[in-house]
Amino acid sequence: MDKPGALNLKLEDYQEKGLYIILPDSSRLVLTKSNIENTAGEFWKDPARIPQYVKEAAEFQRCSFCPLKGIDELCDAIRPIFPFLGIIDKYVSFDEVVAIYKGEEKELLHLADTTMQDALKFVSILSLTQYCQIGRKYYRYYFGVVPIMKPKGMASRLYLNIYWLHKADKESIAKLIKLFIEEMRITAQNQVKRLNLICKNDAFMNAFVNTQVVNEFLQMDIEKTVEASFNEFDQGARIYVKNRRGSDD
């Protein structure tokens, strides 16, 4: 960043899918899948990196319904988080950052002036839907979800994915949403408890809380929220067309 409010990006620096966070000191935190995997791999090679009292704490154990409960003591969902604590713990939830998200589209970047806790929703979604043994079955519902979107926008996209994948079967949709929210609520709450043992600041913990807030919207008359989003889009489109016609006259 050359000056406050200015941001110069080289698109070739953002080729891999994932989240890039430009921190207040202008350094960059790269949270792509390969970087998370490589960093986590190095981290887990050293068992001394996890204090014994943390390993033995009741809050740190696997969820009661985890299929690996009693087989492997370490929760998979914590793996993408631990290696980055040293950096993230230097900041609090509401520290302002620039978040750059690269999704499936090869030539599209999503940028947001946001807070650390909102940017880290990307990591919490990864944790809960790719690493968690239970949450993995929900990953497909996040197709096309941009993790730096506003909560209602994320919830609307989630619902539309659920609606499509369950072929508009209202009974199936209601059943899925109920189970999804119950299981994600428990896993998110347990993650917050684990993080409370190891975090100095609250950015990661609040990221999980904010991710669950998005999920809870699915039970709050989500169809009206989706309808309102379409109406807002339609109104914006009409205003745009009107302004364009005026400028062409």
> Does residue 141 carry a pLDDT above 90?
yes
Q: How many of the other CB atoms lie within 10 Å of CB of 218? A: 22
- Per-residue pLDDT tens digits for 223-240: 766 666 666 656 655 554
Q: Any long-range contacts for 65-74 (C-beta under 8 Å, 24+ apart)?
A: 65/134, 65/183, 65/186, 66/133, 66/134, 67/133, 67/134, 68/133, 74/50
Only one residue has tokens 């619902």, namely 159
pTM of the predicted model, to two decimals?
Answer: 0.83
What's the rounded Cα separation, in Å, for the pair 208 and 191? 8
- Per-residue pLDDT tens digits for 107-138: 889 999 999 999 999 999 999 999 999 999 99
- Per-residue pLDDT tens digits for 31-79: 988 888 888 777 777 777 777 788 788 888 889 899 998 876 678 888 8
Size of the chain, expressed as the number of residues it contains: 249
